[in-house]
Amino acid sequence: MTNPEAPPPPQQASSLRLLGTTALLALRAIRRHILRSFLTVLGIVIGVFAVVTMVTLGKGATQSVHDQVSNLGANVLTVIPGTSQGRGGGGESPPPFKPEDLDAIRDQVAGVTAVAPIAQTTAIAISNASNWSTTVKGTTDAYFDAQAWKLASGRYFTPQEEAAGKSVCIVGKTVKDNLYPATSPVGSALLVGSVSCEVIGELALRGGGGFGQDVDDTVVLPLKTVQRRFTGSRDINFVVVAADPAYDSADVQQSIAALLRERRNIRAGKLDDFTIFDSRQIADTLSGITGVLTAIVSAVAAISLLVGGIGIMNIMLVSVTERTREIGIRLAIGAVAREVMLQFLVEAVVLSCLGGLIGLVLALFTSVGLAKVIKVPFVFDPWTNLIAFLFSGLIGVVFGYFPARRAASLNPIDALRHE
């Protein structure tokens, strides 16, 4: 049996001593020209810094997209009148949805758990001496179920308030912070536009969402209240449909489309006069776009690594020329070409790895700071950092090989005669 504590074989021990000695010589050579060494690795530093920062921020942006879409509700479909291509040619606007359309979706489409109509406008909300411009939504309690939006305090609408179109409202966190910074809004009177309503609830903080819009900046009233007092019509701007996670959202989407085509008398071969957006598809599409943009920017930044590698090769060639006599002495007293080659190769790798390490540290602090500035989460990916560091070492091997090979191939006699 082999003793696990036995010393390494002589050949292996000799190789380890050679590597240690070579690394020590390389560090001494770097330390002798510390400023030149720093300028040499600057390209590697910039390359690693740029690539890691871009990838980290790209992952944060992707995570932000997923968070924003999840804030719209999981398995949520949004149905709006009109097509994504627009009317074109000044054609007639598509007819708005009717309450009967919502009832049909709720009763006839399998997998639908909630259907919420939305009538939307903007207005100035006033409380005491404070005012705030906000989004006014008219809807039903099904909206909060579909969005999985909880209350921080208060209550939702009652069926009687919805049926009668009472002047009651629920405010979002942004409205609360601006109009009621130090007190609870529940129970107070709020003037929204020209309508005075009683605040019966405060929505919990949603955060993010809306792709640049603050989803917490809203005042929600019963649908009939908004239709009578704000829009003056029974028009429904869009419909939010929540699907059961057990059902394929694509199947639910196709069923809704088929039902609406029938109810809106759209003949075969004609385009839909409505559009259905799937929150999950939106997330996947935007994440794909973000990923592609991140890859393109990272590829451009990676060019700095190649420039840094060329800089290392250039300086190593200069170093070989400057140390020709030193190389000749080493070869004359018994050093073999392999040892000389290893010394210069290790020196190039140490330089590039040092640059990679500095780049990683700078990228870490910069990514944390920029993530706060552009308001995306900081996502630390150890694999990205490890691959960037290993690639910087590979740059040292690739671009340091030719100068090391040149040093090892010098003739000892000619090297000793070099001035």
pLDDT tens-digit series, residues 42-59 = 888 888 898 888 888 888
pLDDT 10s digits, 192-234: 998 999 999 999 988 655 455 678 899 999 999 999 999 888 8
What's the confidence (pLDDT) of residue 1?
Answer: 45
For 79-118, how does the pLDDT look when each residue is reduced to its tens digit (9 = 90+)?
A: 888 775 554 444 567 788 888 888 899 889 888 888 999 9
Complete DSSP assignment for 194-215: TEEEEEEEEEPP--S-SSSS-T
- 388 neighbors 48 (Cβ within 8 angstroms): yes
Which percentage of the chain shows pLDDT scores above 70? 83
Which is higher by pLDDT, 10 or 288?
288
Helix (H/G/I), strand (E/B), else coil: 156:
coil
pLDDT at 17 over 90: no
Residue 88: predicted pLDDT: 47
Chain-centroid distance of CA 5 in Å reads 50
One-letter identity of residue 36: R
Distance CA 128, CA 180 (A): 9
Render 15-49 in DSSP notation, one character per residue: HHHHHHHHHHHHHHHHHHTHHHHHHHHHHHHHHHH
The angle, 0 to 180 degrees and rounded to 10, between the axes of the packed helices 324-332 and 279-322 is 70
Query: What is the pLDDT, as a whole number, of residue 65?
Result: 72
289 pLDDT above the threshold of 90:
no
pLDDT at position 16: 59
User: Does residue 71 surpass a pLDDT of 50?
Assistant: yes
Q: What is the mean pLDDT of the chain?
A: 81
Residue 241: which of 80, 119, 98, 93 has the closest Cα?
A: 80
